[in-house]
């Protein structure tokens, strides 16, 4: 029996070593990548194009965003300054992808012409630093109810080695940028703090809404892709938005990580009209979830009311 004591001591030591081995790390519960459409955009309500780029790059860096994706319209590049701005995003660690050359809407464009516009975008993008083989449909329009056109473009993307640069979260940030530009042109005084708060609140609400929808339908939280645009509002307040998302438990991930998520497989197989555009809604629709399957702030009538009353401080009757 003398052998028993050393054996037991050895067994206890082995167990202690096993306990010291850390458990495999789990991915964060809520993950989100930031993507910006329509680069390079024209001047906005508050900043020059150069100011916008500098502030957006600085704000993303200060917010600790390792990599965002910029979906480019090469046909809107007006000269070397615009190319320099796009190169500056890449130099800061971000990536570029195809948003078509001139931003046509598929449901009102001939299939051959649409594919030619994609090719024109690829001709400028391929071979550049930071390039990713993703294509995002302008207006998130994938043909609406025209399944033959939808399938023809899907096949065309596959032939070109492109994958769908889908989004899972949308809060119509483009609307607030347009509303701000209109308000400035009309001589209204804009409450910038209120606009910041509205911008941040809408996007956090949208993130929470679409994540719940995804969990309800798929049983999990995917790595989400948020749709934003290269706007003055983003340049001014993206750091505030990132901070608010983190306060809600979100982890900011790269676009590379987000597009490697299993939900990407749905982009090739769903059989619903593109509707409000998010892949989250399309998956929910295909699984029989009744409308509404979209964030309420994407109703531009409601968004206009929020903007008028909160940002311009118009009385409700006048805002309507």
Percent of residues, the chain, with pLDDT higher than 90: 86
Tokens representing 266 are 């749905």
Assess if residue 281 is contained within a domain: yes
Assess if residue 113 is contained within a domain: yes
Model pLDDT for residues 109-142, shown as the tens digit of each residue = 999 999 999 999 999 999 999 999 999 999 999 9
Assess if residue 3 is contained within a domain: no
Assess if residue 153 is contained within a domain: yes
Q: Residue range 72-99: average pLDDT? A: 98
Assess if residue 26 is contained within a domain: no
Three-state secondary-structure class, residue 98: strand
Assess if residue 112 is contained within a domain: yes
Q: Residue range 236-255: average pLDDT? A: 98
pLDDT of residue 72: 98
What is the band of 27 on the pLDDT scale with cuts at 50, 70, 90? low
Q: Residue range 264-285: average pLDDT? A: 90
Give dist(CA 10, CA 12) in Å, integer.
5
Three-state secondary-structure class, residue 252: strand
- What is the number of domains present in the chain? 1
CATH of the domain at 251: 3.20.20.370
Q: Residue range 33-55: average pLDDT? A: 97
pLDDT of residue 235: 98
Assess if residue 177 is contained within a domain: yes
Residue 161 has pLDDT above 70, yes or no: yes
Residue 12 has pLDDT above 70, yes or no: no
Assess if residue 60 is contained within a domain: yes
Q: Residue range 53-71: average pLDDT? A: 98
Domain that holds residue 73: 31-319
Contact 90, 130 (CB under 8 A): yes
Least confidently predicted of 24-38, 181-195, 259-273: 24-38
Of 165, 192, 164, the closest CA to residue 180 belongs to 192
């Amino acid at each position: 029996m003398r052998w028993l004591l050393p054996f037991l001591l050895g067994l206890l030591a082995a167990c202690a070593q096993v306990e010291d081995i850390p458990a495999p790390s789990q991915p964060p519960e809520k993950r989100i990548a930031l993507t910006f459409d329509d680069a390079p955009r024209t001047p906005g309500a508050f900043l020059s194009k150069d100011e916008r780029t500098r502030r957006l790059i600085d704000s993303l860096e200060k917010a600790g965003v390792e990599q965002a994706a910029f979906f480019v319209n090469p046909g809107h590049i007006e000269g070397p300054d615009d190319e320099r701005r796009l190169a500056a995003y890449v130099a800061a660690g971000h990536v570029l992808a195809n948003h078509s050359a001139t931003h046509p809407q598929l449901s009102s464009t001939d299939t051959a012409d649409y594919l030619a516009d994609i090719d024109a975008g690829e001709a400028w993008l391929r071979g550049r630093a930071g390039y990713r083989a993703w294509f995002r449909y302008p207006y998130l329009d994938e043909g609406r109810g025209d399944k033959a056109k939808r399938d023809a473009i899907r096949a065309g993307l596959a032939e070109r080695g492109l994958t769908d640069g889908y989004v899972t979260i949308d809060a119509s940030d483009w609307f607030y940028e347009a509303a701000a530009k209109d308000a400035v042109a009309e001589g209204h005084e804009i409450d910038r703090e209120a606009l910041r708060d509205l911008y941040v609140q809408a996007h956090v609400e949208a993130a929470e809404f679409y994540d719940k929808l995804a969990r309800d339908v798929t049983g999990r939280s995917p790595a989400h892709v948020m749709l934003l645009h290269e706007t003055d509002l983003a340049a001014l307040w993206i750091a505030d938005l990132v901070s608010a998302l983190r306060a809600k438990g979100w982890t900011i991930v790269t676009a590379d990580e987000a597009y490697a998520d299993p939900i990407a497989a749905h982009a090739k197989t769903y059989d619903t009209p593109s509707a409000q555009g998010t892949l989250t809604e399309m998956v929910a629709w295909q699984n029989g979830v009744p409308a509404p399957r979209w964030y309420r702030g994407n109703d531009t009538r409601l968004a206009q009311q929020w903007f008028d009353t909160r940002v311009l401080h118009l009385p409700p009757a006048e805002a309507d």
